[in-house]
Amino acid sequence: MTLVVALGWVAALAGITLGVPQAVRLWRTRDVDGVSLLAWQAMLVLNLGFFTHGLAIGQPNMILTNLLALVSTVPILILLAKGRGRVAVAVLAPPLLAAALIIAGDLWLGSVAFGVLVVTPIVLVNLGQGAELVRAPQVSGVSPLYLIFGVVNQALWLAWALLVPDSGTAIGAAVSLAMIAFNLLWWGLRRLGLRPFFVSTE
């Protein structure tokens, strides 16, 4: 097994487990407070987009990661829809349409186009968490291990993409790594006493 193949499978293993803790928590508690519907819709777009991109470039690690990630993403979206009194089809339809557009761009325009198109859902996934870290009165509910694991996961995918090489995955992983690293840094600053900014007043 080469270094590139091993790195790809380590990244795949890390990626498979990311949504599991959230899915288990929602399933057990049915408490959807603080869970971003938009972020999980964007995660569905990413899972479908990267699954298809993995098929297009023939990378089993990317295919398996995103196929198994759907096992946690779809139930999370269904539980969020139910918890918010929304119809599951209405919650699933927009990300399915967005994924179809990204997949079409990948298949017709190539890997660089895929990397550019996939940046939007990457930003949506990470922006919600970043905004909460900046403006929430307390950040004690945010798991530092999840943030650290996210940084490690994206660093692995970026290293793998640079070695393969796959420009689409490299672009997506670099943007995601930067945003998750910001979230981790901001979480650390908040835990050290930095006050929130832009707190909404009611």
> What is residue 18's predicted lDDT score, i.e. its pLDDT?
72
Q: Mark out the alpha helices in the chain (DSSP H runs).
A: 3-17, 20-29, 37-57, 60-83, 88-109, 111-135, 144-163, 167-191
Within 8 A by CB and 6+ apart from 38, the residues are 124, 128
Q: What percent of the chain lies above the pLDDT cut of 70?
A: 94
User: Among 28, 73, 7, 71, which residue's Cα sits nearest to residue 46?
Assistant: 73
Tell me: the pLDDT tens digits for 48-58? Answer: 999 999 999 99
Q: Which CA distances in Å does 33 have to 19, 45, 198?
A: 17, 22, 20
The amino acid sitting at 132 is E
Q: Is residue 196 part of a domain?
A: no
Q: Is residue 159 part of a domain?
A: yes
Q: Is residue 199 part of a domain?
A: no
Q: 201 vs 67, which has greater pLDDT?
A: 67
* 172 neighbors 119 (Cβ within 8 angstroms): yes
- Total domains in the chain come to 1
Q: Is residue 200 part of a domain?
A: no
The helix/strand/coil state of 19 is coil
- Does the pLDDT value for residue 78 go beyond 90? yes
> What is residue 115's predicted lDDT score, i.e. its pLDDT?
84
Q: Is residue 121 part of a domain?
A: yes
User: How many Cβ atoms are within 10 Å of 90's Cβ, its own excluded?
Assistant: 9
Tokens of 38: 């938009």
> What is residue 88's predicted lDDT score, i.e. its pLDDT?
94
Tell me which residue range forms the domain holding 99: 3-191
Q: Is residue 202 part of a domain?
A: no
Specify the range with the lowest mean pLDDT, choosing from 3-7, 105-109, 145-149, 174-178. 145-149
- Does the pLDDT value for residue 22 go beyond 80? no
Q: Is residue 182 part of a domain?
A: yes
Q: What is the mean pLDDT of residues 59-82?
A: 89
- The CA distance from 98 to 14, in Å, is 25
Q: Is residue 197 part of a domain?
A: no
Tell me: the pLDDT tens digits for 93-147? Answer: 999 999 999 999 999 999 889 988 988 898 888 887 788 778 777 676 667 777 8
User: Burial of 94 by CB count in 10 Å (0-12 exposed, 13-18 middle, 19+ buried)?
Assistant: middle
